[in-house]
Structure 1
C-alpha cells in the first residue's frame, strides 16, 4: 500500500496547552508519511517557548485520550513567514531524513493573520517546500484517533473527483456525542448552515458515505492537485465561513466534499459566549459568502432578509441589553459584508 506524503497544519494563537495535546496525539498516529507544521499567529502567551519545551521532552502531556510516550527529542525547524517567501528551503534533505514523529516545522507569523491567511502560509510552505501530496488543516484544540489520517487519505484516493475530506468529529467533553459528521448543508437563501449529526449520540447511524455541501474547518484534507486548481483559502474572511467557501469553489470546478466515517477526532467544542468581534465577522462573512455564491437577483432577496434580521438583532442588543458595542457590531458587519469586494483569485 502506498502512503502519499501529508502535511498536517496546526494553527496556534495563544493556545499552547491545547496545541501540545493535539501534537502528542498526532505523533502517535499509525500513518507513516507526514510532516507536522505549526503556524503560530504571533501568540502572546509564551506559546513558542512551551512548544520548544515539549519538543525537548520538558513537558509531558496528560490526556484521557492517550498515554504520553517518551520519545527522542523532536527536532524543530523554525522559520519566519517572511523567510518562506523565498525559494525552496535548503534544509529539505535534512527534514526528509528525520522520522515524522521526531520533527516539527514551526512557522512564526509577525501578526495574527486569522484562520484563512494563517493557514495559507502553511499551505504554501507545504506545497513549495515539503513536497506534500495532501494538506490537512487541523484545529489545535483537537485530539485524533491513531488511524484518522489513514482513513481520510483512503477515502480521498479511492473515490472519484474528491476535493475535500472530513472525519467524524466528536465532542471532546462527551466522547460518544457527535459535533458533526464531516460537515454541513448550506441554505443559500438565508445564509444558514445545518451541521450533519449535530449533538447526536453516535449509534452508528452515520457510518455511511455522505457528500456534505462542505467539510468543516476543524479537520479538512485536500490534495495538492485540488489546491493548485481551486486555490487556497480566501483571506478576505479572516475567520468564519472560509471552509464553506473553499469547498464551494471546489464544487464549481467539479470536486466533491466527502465524509470519511471511519476517521475519528475529538474537538474541544462548546457554547462560547458571543462577542462583538465574533458577531461582526460572522455577520459580515455570512453576507460575503452568499454574495460569492448566488446570482444578483438571489443576493438582492437575501440582502432584504438579512437586513431585517440584522436590524432586529441590533435593536435587541441596544434596547434589552444596553450593549452598544454588540449592536454596532451587527450593523457594521452588515454594511461591510454588503460592500466587500469578491476575491475570486486565491492562488498559490
Structure 2
C-alpha cells in the first residue's frame, strides 16, 4: 500500500434518488481536502422508477464517480458485492466503504482518521459512531445470541406472517401489546447527542451495516459480503465470518456519520402493511441462513 491509500465508497441505490445525491455530495465535500484518491461507486439495484439511469446521466463525465446498473434487484449483500468487486478488481482500491445511500459524512479528516485507526489497531472492518438526523447516538449492536434464540425468533416471525393474513388489524394489535409491555418496563434513558456521547472505542464487536469500512486485511481475502441473504442479518453473518478467520472489528466513536434510516425499505413498500410483510418475509429467510451459519461456526469450535 502506497503512502496515500486509495478509497472507494460503494453506495447501494434503490429508488431514493435525492438521498443518493446527498450522500455523494457529502463524500465529495468531506474528502476534498485530503490527499487520498477517492472513488465513488453507485450500484443501482434495478430501481423501478428509473432513478438509476438518471444518476448515470447526472454523473456522466464526473471524475472518479461510477454508476453500475444491475439488471435485477440483487438485495443488500449481492448488490453491494457488485460494487465491492468493481472497487477491488477494477479500481484497485485499498479501503472499500460499503455505505447506505441515506448516510452522510461529518468530518473533513474522515479518511485520515481511518488510516490512523488502521495503523494502530489493524482492523479488518471499522465502524463509526452513527447519529440520527437529530444528532442522537444510535446504540451499538447487541452481541450474537445463542442459536436457540434465533430459532425461537424465526418461529415467532413465521407465526406473525400466517396470522397477519387472516386477522384484520393484526399488526395494530401487536403494536398495542408492545406498547403496553413497554409502559411496564423502566423508561429508557434518552439517547445522548453527539456532544454528550461518552462512548469508548471497542474491538471485536458487531458493527451496524449502514456504514462498514473494509481495510486491506479484508479486501485482500474476500470479494464482499456473504451473498446468501437478500436483506437482514448481514451484520451477524459478517461478524461470524470475521471470527472464523481470525479478523478483527474496531469501533471508533470519534469517527461520526449521520444515518437518516429506511430510505430503501420505504421505497420498496409504500404501505405500512406491505412494509411489515416484506420485512418479516426476509427476516424468516435470513434467520434460517444465520442459524445454519451459527451451527457451522459453533460446530467447528473446539
8 Å contact kept, 1:184–1:216: no
Matched, 1:289 2:290: yes
Q: Does 1:116 align with 2:116?
A: no
Counterparts in 2 of 1:199 and 1:239: CA distance versus 1, 3 Å: farther
The size of the alignment, in residue pairs, is 246
The answer as to 2:146 corresponding to 1:188 is: yes
Question: C-alpha distance in 2, partners of 1:199/1:284?
Answer: 33
Is 1:210 paired with 2:202?
Answer: yes
Asked whether the equivalents of residues 121 and 250 of structure 2 are also in contact (C-alpha less than 8 Å), the reply is no
Determine helix, strand or coil for the equivalent of 2:144.
strand
Residue 198 of structure 1 deviates from its aligned partner by: 10
TM-aligned CA deviation for residue 238 of structure 1: 1.1
Which of 37, 40, 65 aligns to 1:33? It is: 37
Residue 178 of structure 1, aligned match among 137, 140, 144: 137
Unaligned 5+ runs, structure 2: 154-187, 267-271
Instruction: Name the residue aligned to 1:63.
Output: none
Between Structure 1 and Structure 2, which shows a larger proportion of helix residues?
2
Determine the C-alpha separation between the residues in 1 that align with 2:20 and 2:125.
Answer: 23
Where is the strand percentage greater, Structure 1 or Structure 2? Answer: 1
Q: What is the correspondence of 1:1-348 to structure 2 with a 5 Å cutoff?
A: 2-30=3-31, 31=34, 32-52=36-56, 54-55=58-59, 75-76=61-62, 102-146=63-107, 147-160=109-122, 162-172=123-133, 174-175=134-135, 177-181=136-140, 183-189=141-147, 190-191=149-150, 200-202=191-193, 203-206=196-199, 208-269=200-261, 273=272, 274-294=275-295
Cα separation, 1, equivalents of 2:76 and 2:189: 23
* Contact 2:53-2:69 within 8 A present in 1 as well: no
Q: Report deviation, 1:295.
A: 6.0
Counterpart contact for 2:23–2:102, Cα < 8 Å: yes
Instruction: After TM superposition, give the deviation of residue 231 of structure 1 in Å.
Output: 4.9
Contact 2:233 2:286 survives alignment (8 Å): yes
TM-score (structure 1 length as normaliser): 0.64
Pairwise CA distance, 1:178: 1.1
Indicate the SS of the match to 1:154: helix
Q: Distance in 1 between matches of 2:53 and 2:139?
A: 33
Calculate the aligned-residue CA RMSD, in Å.
2.8
Report how far residue 75 of structure 1 moved. Answer: 2.2
CA displacement 1:321-344 (0-9 Å, x = unmatched)? xxxxxxxxxxxxxxxxxxxxxxxx
The normalised TM-score by structure 2 is 0.73
Distance 1:188 1:103, change over 3 A: same
Q: Rate the CA distance shift 1:148–1:267 in 2: closer, same or farther, 3 A.
A: same
**How far is 1:105 from its partner?**
0.9
Aligned pair in 2 of structure 1 residues 265, 28: CA closer, same or farther (>3 Å)?
A: same
Deviation by residue 1:184-226 (Cα, 9 ceiling, x = unmatched)? 422134238xxxx9972132320x2112532111000112432
The 1:171–1:291 alpha-carbon spacing in structure 2 relative to 1, beyond 3 Å, is same
Larger relative contact order (Cα-Cα within 8 Å, sequence gap ≥ 6) = 2
Aligned to 2:171: none
Is residue 245–residue 289 contact of structure 1 (8 Å, CA) maintained in 2? yes
User: Does the C-alpha gap of structure 1 residues 37 and 284 become closer, same or farther in structure 2, counting only changes over 3 Å?
Assistant: same
| Separation in 2, partners of 1:199, 1:130 | 43
CA 1:246–1:232 in structure 2 vs 1: closer, same or farther (change >3 Å)?
same
Query: 8 Å contact 1:168–1:260 — kept in the other structure?
Result: yes
